């Protein structure tokens, strides 16, 4: 087993991490072991997003869904096997998570650039998520980078799929689910802002569209019904906000006008304790981008591995 390697990228102009957050970090690891690693990841991600803008949201989502099940160890990338209860088959991921081929391409090209498999699949997920946000951000020129810790990976069975929060969750469930991972209400709101990118399937918002009368704009509901019939069509897509290929604050503005696509989204602005945060981010993009970077660092530190527990996988789809 390889010793633990810390690395990931998130950043924002003039962001300064507190000393406690950076105590165990190594921002220079790949600079010494493989200077071409990060430019290679960035190049592949930008090409993938250029081909299909939706891919940026997909790569960001992979990182989220990996971290919320026992920590950020890239186990979401594992294919099913007799010894692996694959996360890919879990209800929140099946026929939903995508972008695995892009991760495979990154892994292949990074290994070539480094001359050996030195970059972990967990780090690839983290950096790909960051680079996707930068590629789709409305202020990408202002982004700088800093490094946060990410473990490599340990081979183990993973069955805590219930840690992935449902799109039907109410606010207390969302708060509790984030608290379980050491994330607070501010983290909940700002990380939910990742829904400024991408689409959701009709089956995840059908009940809200047809059966909710409180906290939904009636014209918005009527518009959604054209792409989400009462029977069938569960895999039809609708954008999570009006600009699904731009990392901006439209998601929060939508919530203020009761146009959150998912029930769980609108719960963030429903007369509860998170309303003021939504108001802040809907009018202050600088605050959103700054806090999003900070919360991504916190999320990336969920249950990190230490010592000899990790390994750099040769193939992100299977353990060594």
Cβ burial 124-157 (10 Å sphere, 16+ → b, else e): bbbbbbbbbbbbbbeeeeebebbbbbbbbbbbee
- Total domains, the chain: 2
Residues 39 and 80 grouped into a single domain: yes
Q: pLDDT, tens digit, for every residue of 166-205?
A: 899 999 999 999 999 999 999 999 999 999 999 999 999 9
Q: Is 230 exposed, middle or buried (0-12, 13-18, 19+ CB in 10 A)?
A: exposed
How far apart are the C-alpha atoms of 315 and 252, rounded to whole Å?
38
Q: pLDDT, tens digit, for every residue of 1-37?
A: 332 333 334 433 323 333 333 334 455 567 777 889 9
CATH code: domain of residue 113: 1.10.520.10
Please say if 65 is a catalytic residue: yes
Q: Is residue 253 part of a domain?
A: yes
Please spell the DSSP secondary structure of 66-78, one letter per residue. HHTTTSSSSGGGP
Question: 271 — phi, psi (to 5°)?
Answer: 90, 10
Instruction: Output the pTM of the full model.
Output: 0.84
Residues 101 and 118 grouped into a single domain: yes
Q: pLDDT, tens digit, for every residue of 220-243?
A: 999 999 999 999 999 999 999 999
How far apart are the C-alpha atoms of 214 and 284, rounded to whole Å?
27
Residues 17 and 110 grouped into a single domain: yes
- Listed residue (266, 234, 231) closest to 251, CA to CA: 266
Domain interval for residue 242: 171-293
How far apart are the C-alpha atoms of 300 and 64, rounded to whole Å?
9
Q: Is residue 116 part of a domain?
A: yes
Residue 161 confidence (pLDDT) above 90: no
Choosing from 63, 65, 195, 263, the catalytic residue is: 65
Q: Is residue 313 part of a domain?
A: no
Considering all CA atoms of the chain, what is the largest pairwise distance in Å, rounded to the nearest integer?
58
């Amino acid at each position: 087993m390889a010793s633990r390697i810390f690395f990931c990228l998130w950043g924002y102009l003039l962001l300064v991490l507190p000393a406690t957050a950076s105590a165990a970090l190594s921002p220079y690891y790949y600079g010494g072991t493989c200077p071409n690693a990060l430019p290679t990841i960035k190049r592949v991600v930008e090409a993938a997003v250029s081909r299909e803008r939706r891919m940026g949201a997909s790569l960001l989502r992979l990182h989220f869904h990996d971290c919320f099940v026992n920590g950020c160890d890239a186990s979401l990338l594992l294919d099913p096997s007799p010894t692996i209860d694959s996360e890919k088959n879990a209800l929140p991921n099946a026929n939903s998570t995508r972008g695995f081929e892009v991760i495979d391409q990154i892994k292949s090209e990074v290994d070539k650039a480094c001359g050996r498999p030195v970059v972990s699949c967990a780090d690839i997920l983290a950096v790909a998520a960051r680079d996707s946000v930068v590629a789709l951000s409305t202020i990408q020129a202002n982004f700088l980078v800093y490094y946060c810790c990410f473990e490599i990976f340990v081979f183990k069975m993973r069955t805590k799929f219930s840690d992935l929060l449902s799109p039907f969750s109410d606010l207390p469930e969302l708060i509790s689910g984030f608290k379980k991972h050491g994330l607070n209400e501010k983290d909940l709101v700002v990380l939910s802002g990742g829904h400024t990118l991408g689409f959701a399937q009709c089956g995840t918002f059908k009940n809200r569209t047809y059966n909710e009368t409180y906290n939904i704009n009636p014209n918005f509901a009527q518009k959604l019904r054209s792409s989400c019939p009462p029977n069938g069509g569960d895999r039809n897509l609708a954008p999570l906000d009006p600009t699904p290929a731009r990392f901006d604050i439209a998601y929060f503005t939508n919530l203020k006008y009761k146009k959150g696509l998912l029930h769980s989204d609108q719960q963030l602005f429903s007369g509860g304790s998170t309303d003021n945060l939504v108001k802040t981010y809907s009018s202050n993009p600088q605050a959103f981008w700054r806090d999003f970077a900070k919360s991504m660092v916190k999320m990336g530190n969920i249950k990190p591995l230490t010592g000899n527990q990790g390994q750099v996988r040769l193939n992100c789809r299977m353990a060594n």
